[in-house]
Structure 1
Amino acid sequence: MSAAGAILVIRLSSLGDVLLCAPALRALRRRFPDSQIDFLVASGFADAARLLPEINNLITLDRNEGWRGLLRLRRLLSRQYELIVDLQNSPRSAFLRLACMPLMWTKSNRFRIKRWFLIRFKWNFYGATVPVPIRYIRALDSLGVVDDELGLELLHTHGPRDEQMIVLCPGAKHFTKRWPVENWQELVSRLESSGWKITVCGSADEADACRSIAGNHPVVVGTALSDVGGLLARARAVVCHDSGLMHLATGVGTPVVALFGPTVEQFGFFPFRADALVVQQPLACRPCSAFGGNVCPKRHHDCMRQTTPDQVMSTLSQLLAIGHDRQTSL
């Protein structure tokens, strides 16, 4: 590839997966400082892509258009790019990767077969866990890129940190990833008794649950993702599920307590190079799903129900103590 050839990076969805592209984009920019780097994303996740570094142009795909949208993009993008980096590795992205006729292309490894064996039979063929951002960087190995060994480092507004504010993000796309509402309510009561300021944050679809959990505390729902990033950046810490907002919080440099249930570290989505601690239960039925589901296969949902407010409070205290020790040692 020439030093100034145009590059298209494809990652259509979802929120967290798009944010996890940041280290690979930085690596590409360092390797090809004069290249145009464009990013193709599904229109529903364009706000997430706007938080990524090193992008020249953002191109969106409206999934409601189906194959017509793909054909339109194929005509638009054909022969424009010397290199296409497919970090989605799906039938849609493969069509675009091949139909646009770049001089070179590369794709990420999603380890689908290993994931299936771990979910179906609990046979672990992963070996050493490779976080998703590192998988993305490894997709660029043939180009001679170098990992800068930083975290996500997302673009966000910098404001003064409120050392007394804890932000709770009780949402997740799938039911089995969610901690019970009554546990969140108990956590709010514990935090309130300890003198913390509490803000509860979520999507517009999660508004009712957020208000039920927050009680008289502030609720932020349905706001622009950049504004949510600014809120999380000001917090002393964030408590959340395995969700896109977990990656947003770590990407803006805020300490995180992450509650994991049906998914496991081998899938690559644990907090990446961040001040973060994970709360999870050592159950034989985990993992039961790659992304979570609407019903627990065992009908008990113990992976989330066995996590107690006491455990979360203890983990949060440990996380904040680690941060305090690090600051005092500087």
Structure 2
Amino acid sequence: MRFEAWNRYRHILCIRLDNIGDVLMSQPAMRALKESLPGRKITLLTSSAGALIAPFIQEIDDVIPFDVPWVKTSEIHGEQQLLALADKLRSRRFDAAVIFTVYSQNPLPAAMLCYLAGIKTVLGYCRENPYQLINQWLPDREPLDYIVHEVERQLRLVESTGAVTSDTGLSLTVPEESRQKIAGKLAAIGIYPDKPWLALHASVSEEKRRYPANNYIQACQLLIRQGYKIVLTGSVSEQAYVEAITRQLGTAAISVAGELSVAELIALIAAAPVLISNNTGPIHIAAAVGTPVVVAYAMTNPQHTPWRVPNRVLYFEVAPALRTKNRLLQSFAGIAEPKASPQAIAAAVNELEKNQ
């Protein structure tokens, strides 16, 4: 009966309220929803950060950016704006909503928003019975019984409605204009396809997931001695941090932090032979454009590794003061090996390059 009902739902609100990488890891599930009914429209409600990647995801027809107070975001709206959002959602007359969450997030605030918006059919994971707030709920068994990759988690959620897809990869549309602009920018700074180079995205929104700058410097110095040039990326707010690393690397490193649009960042990562980064949005962009990636991975979210792209995941411990206060999650801190030493990062780059 659930399958039959969903076959009539033509306008779906997908809710993913966190960041770029989280939106990307929900893409295959949105694709499954889209493919399961011809002509179905997908509207994404996401944060202002998550909205930046939406124009490059072909499954998304419309996006509503809003920073909610129950998710860590750059700007928090007040209660009047939240009520106005509920009214806006009500005016769209959605047939159903799907709430995408990681297992450490509570879906009930988003479910209450749907309730206020008059959306009758709501699908999502929840630990306890949410009754009419999520009237189509799946008991959340993560992380107590198992942990699956975030992409698989969301695919399982929509599969409960009969929505499946044979294409479970990530993908992004890279504007040709951006490809050409990045090719010109790389040539202008002496980066050529036939010479060894790589991209490094050293910054991250959460301090606990930031690999130590000195370790990145040591890894890059090893690679520079092998003939590599390094292009460092980052946002405007991260520019000073990235340029401090760049100065330590000399003329073989160039920072473009704060200089690229989202489209140009996607094009740069698509052009790069390898990306080195923390576990943050650019590694999922790399997965979407097929660029091999080396991840210095904080032991926080073991289900957020690069999806279906050549990769090497190297782990480092989070500083005690920055570790989660959630006792339920403290026992699920991830995997300790292999260690993310500078030598291991350089070796992983060499291995990925050799296997291309």
Which TM-score band (shorter chain)?
A: 0.7 to 0.9
- Residue pair 2:42, 2:59 contacting (<8 A) in 1 also: yes
Question: What 5-or-longer segments of structure 1 have no aligned partner?
Answer: 116-124, 292-296, 298-302, 324-330
Give the share of equivalent positions with the same residue, in percent.
25
- 1:66 paired with 2:78, answer yes
- Residue pair 2:299, 2:317 contacting (<8 A) in 1 also: no
1:85 counterpart (98, 102, 108)? 98
- Residue pair 1:165, 1:235 contacting (<8 A) in 2 also: yes
Whole-angstrom distance in 2 between the partners of 1:108 and 1:114: 10
Q: Which residue of 1 aligns with 2:136?
A: none
Q: Which residue of 2 aligns with 1:100?
A: 117
CA drift at 1:67: 2.1
Instruction: Give the 3-state SS of the residue equivalent to 1:259 in structure 2.
Output: strand
Whole-angstrom distance in 1 between the partners of 2:203 and 2:170: 21
Instruction: Give the 3-state SS of the residue equivalent to 1:50 in structure 2.
Output: helix
CA drift at 1:183: 1.6
Whole-angstrom distance in 1 between the partners of 2:206 and 2:164: 35
Q: Which residue of 2 aligns with 1:24?
A: 29
Q: Which residue of 1 aligns with 2:257?
A: 221
Q: Which residue of 2 aligns with 1:271?
A: 306
1:162 counterpart (193, 203, 210)? 193
Report the RMSD for the aligned CA atoms in angstroms: 3.0
Q: Do the aligned partners of residues 197 and 23 (structure 1) sit closer, same or farther apart at CA in structure 2, a change above 3 Å counting?
A: same
Q: Do the aligned partners of residues 130 and 290 (structure 1) sit closer, same or farther apart at CA in structure 2, a change above 3 Å counting?
A: farther
- 1:53 paired with 2:58, answer yes
- 1:139 paired with 2:157, answer yes
Alignment of 1:250-261 (within 5 A): 250-261=287-298
CA drift at 1:261: 2.3
CA drift at 1:313: 0.8
Instruction: Give the 3-state SS of the residue equivalent to 1:270 in structure 2.
Output: coil
- Residue pair 1:39, 1:55 contacting (<8 A) in 2 also: yes
Q: Do the aligned partners of residues 179 and 31 (structure 1) sit closer, same or farther apart at CA in structure 2, a change above 3 Å counting?
A: same
Instruction: Give the 3-state SS of the residue equivalent to 1:107 in structure 2.
Output: strand
Whole-angstrom distance in 1 between the partners of 2:201 and 2:148: 26
State the AA in 2 paired with 1:197.
K
Alignment of 1:1-330 (within 5 A): 1-3=6-8, 5-63=10-68, 64-78=76-90, 80-88=93-101, 90-108=107-125, 114-115=142-143, 125-127=144-146, 129-157=147-175, 159=179, 162=193, 164-215=196-247, 216=251, 217-222=253-258, 223-265=260-302, 268-280=303-315, 288-289=323-324, 307-323=340-356
Q: Do the aligned partners of residues 253 and 84 (structure 1) sit closer, same or farther apart at CA in structure 2, a change above 3 Å counting?
A: same
- Residue pair 2:15, 2:98 contacting (<8 A) in 1 also: yes
CA drift at 1:307: 2.9
- Residue pair 2:201, 2:276 contacting (<8 A) in 1 also: yes
- Give the TM-score of the pair, scaled to structure 1: 0.81
Q: Do the aligned partners of residues 114 and 107 (structure 1) sit closer, same or farther apart at CA in structure 2, a change above 3 Å counting?
A: closer
Instruction: Give the 3-state SS of the residue equivalent to 1:20 in structure 2.
Output: helix
State the AA in 2 paired with 1:81.
F
CA drift at 1:44: 3.4
Q: Do the aligned partners of residues 108 and 48 (structure 1) sit closer, same or farther apart at CA in structure 2, a change above 3 Å counting?
A: farther
CA drift at 1:162: 3.1
- Residue pair 1:198, 1:218 contacting (<8 A) in 2 also: yes
Which structure is higher in RCO with an 8 Å CA cutoff and minimum separation 6? 1
Instruction: Give the 3-state SS of the residue equivalent to 1:153 in structure 2.
Output: coil
CA drift at 1:101: 2.4
Q: CA offsets, 1:275-315, max 9 Å, x none? A: 111012599x9x95399xxxxx9xxxxx79x6321111111
- Give the TM-score of the pair, scaled to structure 2: 0.75
- Residue pair 2:12, 2:96 contacting (<8 A) in 1 also: yes
Question: What 5-or-longer segments of structure 2 have no aligned partner?
Answer: 1-5, 69-75, 128-138, 184-191, 331-335
CA drift at 1:43: 2.3
Q: Which residue of 2 aligns with 1:328?
A: none
Aligned length: 299
Instruction: Give the 3-state SS of the residue equivalent to 2:56 in structure 1.
Output: coil
CA drift at 1:22: 1.1
State the AA in 1 paired with 2:304.
F
State the AA in 2 paired with 1:198.
I
- Residue pair 2:53, 2:262 contacting (<8 A) in 1 also: yes
State the AA in 2 paired with 1:192.
I
The worse-fitting range, judged by mean Cα deviation, of 223-232 and 154-163 is: 154-163
